[in-house]
Amino acid sequence: MALDDFFDRIDADPHSLVVINRSVPRPFQRLLERAFDGQPVAVEEEQIPGRGDDFVALVTENDGGREVVATSPLEALTDTILMVNSDLYMTGTVGLEEFELPEVLVGLHDIPFRLRGYPESNKEKLLLIVISRYIERRAWQAGRGTLRTSFQRLSRIQDERGTRAVYETVADSDVQTHVYGVPDWQPPPEFGVVAHGGYTDEFRRSWFVVYTPPEDGDIDCENPHLALLALEVGPREWKGFWTFDRSLVTDLNEYIARTL
């Protein structure tokens, strides 16, 4: 058993992001198309009389035909991934309190993505960053449960001001916060996290953010089990997915707790 084996358990119907009644300039559409270029998510455009302008529908295709499963303003995607870069999150410009993730991005769960980091791409890896922040925010809002996060190098927590602020905030709650990576930095006792260091590939090349609620299950929210898993498959290249599947999240959490 290895982290890579969890990719065999994801399965999703075909998805499309459809921009409805675009009134903003064409370059905004091209930004969205480039953000998902080469991914298993089609980007389309439609004009529908009588509907509002400049919103994005997440559409899934199954035996029952096409179904809209979520909608978000195009502006929300612009502010989250299209017109920003990772510095917005790493520097702490957007904290947990202000962060909101468009529902059409949340809905792209259980889909295998293949993403490149900088300098090969300015945008692709950002998708994993915003999903990570979404899970961290949900853990903080719940205030209890367990959060397990891999950083490849533990020093990233110290070096990235925004990342440190997020984990200081989460660890200050009753969430049991575990961090994983090559032990090139040791969090001080007052930080409030439990650090796990190692040098194997699963410490060095994995990126996961896994939240499981408390065993009593007393968390009032939809999809209380959340996980992102990504593996570095080449220099600055990742394959990854996120899921709300309770069984998958539970098994992933148990594997990490047992193995790393």
Q: How confident is residue 219, by pLDDT bands cut at 50, 70 and 90?
A: low
**30-58: average pLDDT:** 94
Percent of the chain whose pLDDT exceeds 70 = 96
Percent of the chain whose pLDDT exceeds 90 = 80
Each residue's pLDDT tens digit, 89-101 = 878 777 788 899 9
Lowest-confidence segment of 11-15, 87-91, 95-99, 224-228 by average pLDDT: 87-91
Asked whether the beta carbons of 44 and 18 are under 8 A apart, the reply is yes
pLDDT at res. 255: 98
Lowest-confidence segment of 4-8, 25-29, 95-99, 131-135 by average pLDDT: 95-99
Mean pLDDT over the full length of the chain: 92
Each residue's pLDDT tens digit, 109-145 = 999 999 987 666 656 788 999 999 999 999 999 999 9
215 phi and psi angles, rounded to 5 deg: -60, -25
3-state secondary structure the chain: CCHHHHHHHCCCCCEEEEEECCCCCHHHHHHHHHHCCCCCEEEEEECCCCCCCCEEEEEEEECCEEEEEEEEEHHHHHHHHHCCCCHHHHCCCCCCCCCCCCHHHHCCCCCCEEEECCCCCCCCCHHHHHHHHHHHHHHHHHCCCEEEEEEEECHHHHHCHHHHHHHHHHHCCCCEEEEEEECCCCCCHHHCCEEEECCCHHHHCEEEEEEECCCCCCCCCCCCCEEEEEEEEECCEEEEEEECCHHHHHHHHHHHHHHC
**24-34: average pLDDT:** 94
Whether residue 250 is predicted with pLDDT greater than 90 in this model: the reply is yes
**149-177: average pLDDT:** 95
Whether residue 238 is predicted with pLDDT greater than 70 in this model: the reply is yes
Q: Which residue has the higher pLDDT, 246 or 220?
A: 246
Lowest-confidence segment of 13-22, 67-76, 211-220, 225-234 by average pLDDT: 211-220
pLDDT at res. 220: 65
Report the candidate in 101, 114, 99, 20 with the shortest Cα–Cα distance to residue 58: 20
Each residue's pLDDT tens digit, 68-80 = 999 999 999 999 9
pLDDT at res. 119: 62
| pTM of this structure | 0.95
